Amino acid sequence: MQPRKQCLKNGRMLVIRKAAVEDARAVLDYIKGISGESDYLSFGPGEFELSVPEEEEYLRKCRDSDNQLYLLGLIDDMVVSTLTFSAGRRPRVRHSGEFGMSVRKRCWGFGIGSLMLDTLIDWAKDTGIIKKINLRVRTDNQRAIQLYEGKGFVREGTIRMEMFLDGKYYDHHWMGLVL
């Protein structure tokens, strides 16, 4: 997959490319930075604890797999978004996987999430392997749900009490896109 350059709504240039093993430190710094920016994430500050060698190994695994993807969204060489997609290893489930995505809060509203998702969908179609993309999203995250529905994802079910935060349980929608 070749890197993509996209002009954002604010006039800045976004580069979307596959993560390289050498990006491990920048990815971990990004994750540390976003961990406190949104309660919609599955982790908070101090809860995502991979070492640089562990992150390097994960990035290597994504790079070497034909049905996994780790995308970076960069502005001026700074990571402002990530998207990971992982499908099953066994023949019966290689065609289907789940993605997770995040965008720096200061970059919300510029269309980065939409561009990252378009890149995932195009990549998935090009693999000849991926036939279904799944995601989980908190039921109260209306902006994300609107984005996903706009790309063709449909709600397939609701997972009750999927997240516990500040003394409250939150439900998640399971959504999917058949390619």
User: pLDDT tens digits, residue range 24-83?
Assistant: 999 999 999 999 999 999 999 999 889 999 999 999 999 999 999 999 999 999 999 999
pTM of the model: 0.95
In this prediction, residue 49 carries a pLDDT of 87
Answer yes or no: is 159 within a domain.
no
Answer yes or no: is 103 within a domain.
yes
- Give the total number of structural domains in the chain: 1
Extract the tokens encoding 34.
């976003």
- CB of 87 closer than 8 Å to CB of 95: yes
- CB of 80 closer than 8 Å to CB of 29: no
Strand 68-75 and strand 78-87: the pairing is: antiparallel
CATH assignment of the domain containing 86: 3.40.630.30
* Angle, vertex CA 121, rays to CA 172 and CA 153, nearest 5: 35
Answer yes or no: is 156 within a domain.
no
What are the residues facing 169 on neighbouring strands? Answer: 164
- Structural domain including 37 reads 4-131
Average pLDDT over residues 166-175: 98
Answer yes or no: is 140 within a domain.
no
